[in-house]
Structure 1
Amino acid sequence: MNAVVIGAYWGDEGKGKIVDMLAANSDWVARFNGGDNAGHTIVANGKEVVLHVVPAGMVQGKNVAIGPDVFFNPKTFFADYEGVLKAGFRVNGRILIDERAHVIMPYHIALDAGGEASGKLGTTKRGIGPVAKDKASRTEDITICDLVSPGLREKIKAVVAAKTAELVAVKAIEKAADAEKYAEAAYAEYAPYAEKIRPYVGSCAYELNAALDSGKTMLLEGAQSTLLDVVHGTRPYVTSSNCTAGGAAANLGIDLRKFKIIAVVKAYPTRVGEGAFPSELGNYEDAKKEKKGETLTAAEKKNAVDGDQGLLGKWIRQDGREFGATTGRPRRTGYPDFVALNYSAMINGVDEWAITKIDILSGKPLKAVVAYEKDGRKTTRFPFKLEGWKPVYGNREYFWNAMAESEIKAAVAKGYDALPGGMKEYIRDLVIATKTPVSMVSLSPEREITVTKDVLKRTMEYLR
């Protein structure tokens, strides 16, 4: 099966696990967007691996490709690679890095950390915004092709010279006269990477299309998610690349008609940083103060069940370990949002949902957004400017008790019908609201604890 795997909300849905699972039956896994501002966590064989640039298929020993619209940090790439090896996995497949991919340089990170916009937008300060600006400018960008070319030193010098005033402004260098020394230091750091990367450099468009033509199977792995897409997301609080399924085709130069589109939807939405979040539980200021590993008392859990949304949001955040794999920042949590998911299904042409972290909602009451309201107007469309819109919830409340380990194992073995009734009610309403069936339900970060038997069959029945 050829498939595109994308996220449905604002990221952190567990795409790494789903790609890792599907990679078992794929020849290639290609990353098509983003940079090391994303983190995909994989739990397999009792070990956890967090990947930021390397496609998740490497853990399965598959051929992996990094596409031309990926913002490539070589230091992070090799850290990912070493992390896979240290976790005990073998790197058996081929590695392909597209010659057109743009390289994150030290000055991109300095400009991101010191820039005014990064604070307002809550960026990860990994240099993504500045490298994307260079890509758009077309004259100050450094590609993988440039990185492995004999003219790298002169190219870096020219770009640093053009950016001297900016680098002084953010205190990356003290004065303009230091620019040449700064450029030499950047070259000295990156020249060794160039030699190590050289054997992997090629063209994804040619290599991947040739693989498809020869009958090889392929996964296209997205970073971030639909509502962070630079075009279709909740601007200005978005990333700098195309995160939708259409972006996979455009970025890699591949015919999307050959692929099934699977969107990973976490059972509850989360959001990192600023930006409107209609179904948010509690508020971001309180979330910022939380530390990973905090526990709720029995009294606090009772209050959450009785309607304290702030405590319910904290409970979900702590049980779901909702702290960024890349930044460590607490993620904001919210009630399920069927309006956002219907929009995501529409613009991506989603064929199937893969639901993750639904186990985290066990024992917690929830409801779902079915419309938005603002100034007396109601809409079921996802607004371009989301600020000020309030959630309108459906009449149904969902609840199910936590599944015992024996019940989880039984559900994996027996299939969809063995899931709790309240969970299936929630899944049914999600499917009907989005007109899209579900093909898998994850009950744990571990690869093996996923229900697939009869899931697609049963959820397609909801649409008849």
Structure 2
Amino acid sequence: MSIAVVCGTNWGDEGKGRMVDYLAREADAVVRYQGGNNAGHTVVNEFGSFALHLIPSGIFNSHVTCVLGPGTVIDLEALNVEIENLEAAGIDCGNIKISDRATILFPFYRDEDAWEEERLGDRAYGSTKNGIAPAYGDRHAKKAMRVGELLYPDSFRAQLKHIVDWKNLVASGVFKRESGVSYDRMVNWAMTYGEHVKHRICDTTALLEDMAAAGKRILFEAQLGALRDVYYGIYPYTTSSCALAAFAPVGGGLFNHPVDRVVGVMKAFSTCVGEGPFLTEMSSEEASSLRETAMEYGATTGRPRGIGHFDAVASRFGTQVQGATEIALTKLDSLSGLANLKICTHYDYRGEHLTRFPLNPVLEEASPIYETCEGWTEDITDCRKFDELPVAAQAYVLRIEALIACRIRFVSVGPERSQLIDRGPV
């Protein structure tokens, strides 16, 4: 038996999907343990290029059981569309299982999300407006519904009535909306889309416990990254769930079986989509060129990502809070052709050099302190061993490794499964 977690160490969009797809070849189950369809994992393999939103990135391995854990929030409509798109591409979706304890994300959560961003105006959080925050908010306010309740339609309808009544009070009282939530429409929506996934709903904890007892290999998959985590990220410009590896047993629903390894994923440069402080952001000219080379656009929203120099302060913090045992460094190939590369080693805050990632009031005033590394001009996309990389590229990777104090095991030199250098364990 082996249990591993793949998680992000930065602001999200680090390339977790490509790593899960790679590692899932030797897994028996891949489990999403938090988040919803507010972000995407881009996967490129022999089947094509895919942007996944809810479905675990192990879906391209037909032997893998793909689990949406109790810590996720599930838009039933979006899930149905995603399954249909994958099946149309010839991908077998028969092994998708949904926790009966996961939260249903209703359409009224999308409306509430958009209304709140509009109300906030210049102080908006940069939400994708997919309803994630209000769905998690209602779960903790004990006003949500769980996926398993679809299996009990009479109880489901009665409970939904109470929730719709509450939502109409919020719509009229807080957001001053004249048209509220239609109970009949919500029932029809849930029953229509729920009917297509009812056969996938089960006690996934029992499923995973049986797999673990049988010595199976289980891989947990996170969404977003440590700096968007609701507890340790750049709050309130975060997601609304815990994106940390420590949450995997809770959000994934597997207990009494310790995690063996945590693969933290980070890019060879910094990217950030959404609002909040981002200290190492490049000039628009520098960023534009690298954004096009690396195709840095959100997989869910299509929004251009902010581009920055590698931030060792943020990355070291993300590595620590994730408890990473090893690192996968992605998109090193995107830096080929740059004469010089900058690494932020410290933050300057009122004359003090900071090595620990601080709270937002400090981030909003601090400035980055850089050191410069030599770049390289060679195309590295065909390199499969670390010593095949240009000397300057090796030095850049090793300098990052030293600054974040964690072994960089994997180095990605392209989006394909094969374009990955495995340096092996320590």
Query: Shift of residue 201 of structure 1?
Result: 1.4
Aligned counterparts of 1:398 and 1:318: Cα–Cα separation in 2: 22
Query: Shift of residue 173 of structure 1?
Result: 6.2
Query: Shift of residue 49 of structure 1?
Result: 1.2
- Tell me the SS of whatever aligns to 1:110: helix
Gap regions ≥5 residues in structure 1: 283-309
Aligned counterparts of 1:111 and 1:202: Cα–Cα separation in 2: 29
8 Å CA contact 2:70–2:253 kept in 1: the answer is no
56-65 or 116-125, which deviates more: 116-125
Corresponding position of 1:42: 43
8 Å CA contact 2:11–2:224 kept in 1: the answer is yes
Aligned counterparts, 1:377-392, within 5 A:
377-385=352-360, 386-392=363-369
TM-score by length of 1: 0.86
In terms of fraction of residues, the more strand-rich structure is 2
Corresponding position of 2:66: 64
TM-score by length of 2: 0.93
Corresponding position of 2:133: 129
Q: Which has the higher contact order (CA 8 A, sep 6+)?
A: 2
Judging changes above 3 Å, is the alpha-carbon distance between structure 1 residues 172 and 197 closer, same or farther for their aligned structure 2 residues? farther
Query: Shift of residue 383 of structure 1?
Result: 0.3
8 Å CA contact 1:362–1:399 kept in 2: the answer is yes
Judging changes above 3 Å, is the alpha-carbon distance between structure 1 residues 107 and 212 closer, same or farther for their aligned structure 2 residues? same
Query: Shift of residue 155 of structure 1?
Result: 1.9
Corresponding position of 1:446: 416
Aligned counterparts of 1:28 and 1:253: Cα–Cα separation in 2: 13
Corresponding position of 1:399: 375
- Tell me which of 170, 177, 183 is aligned to 1:166: 170
188-197 or 356-365, which deviates more: 188-197
Query: Shift of residue 95 of structure 1?
Result: 2.1
8 Å CA contact 1:114–1:170 kept in 2: the answer is no
Aligned counterparts of 2:89 and 2:127: Cα–Cα separation in 1: 29
Aligned counterparts of 2:70 and 2:368: Cα–Cα separation in 1: 38
8 Å CA contact 1:148–1:194 kept in 2: the answer is no
Residue 29, structure 1, aligned to residue 30, structure 2: yes
Corresponding position of 1:78: 80
Aligned counterparts of 2:344 and 2:161: Cα–Cα separation in 1: 53
Corresponding position of 1:143: 146
The percentage of counterpart residues that share the same residue type is 31
Give RMSD over aligned pairs. 1.8
Aligned counterparts of 2:131 and 2:14: Cα–Cα separation in 1: 23
8 Å CA contact 1:28–1:219 kept in 2: the answer is yes
8 Å CA contact 2:5–2:259 kept in 1: the answer is no
- Tell me which of 364, 367, 375 is aligned to 2:350: 375
Query: Shift of residue 171 of structure 1?
Result: 7.6
8 Å CA contact 2:34–2:73 kept in 1: the answer is yes
Aligned counterparts of 1:13 and 1:366: Cα–Cα separation in 2: 19
Aligned counterparts, 1:219-234, within 5 A:
219-234=219-234
8 Å CA contact 1:246–1:256 kept in 2: the answer is no
Query: Shift of residue 269 of structure 1?
Result: 1.3
Corresponding position of 2:241: 241
Judging changes above 3 Å, is the alpha-carbon distance between structure 1 residues 421 and 69 closer, same or farther for their aligned structure 2 residues? same
Query: Shift of residue 117 of structure 1?
Result: 4.2
Judging changes above 3 Å, is the alpha-carbon distance between structure 1 residues 250 and 90 closer, same or farther for their aligned structure 2 residues? closer
In terms of fraction of residues, the more helix-rich structure is 1
Query: Shift of residue 384 of structure 1?
Result: 2.1
Query: Shift of residue 202 of structure 1?
Result: 1.7
Corresponding position of 1:266: 267
Gap regions ≥5 residues in structure 2: none
Aligned counterparts of 2:18 and 2:252: Cα–Cα separation in 1: 22
- Tell me the SS of whatever aligns to 1:89: coil
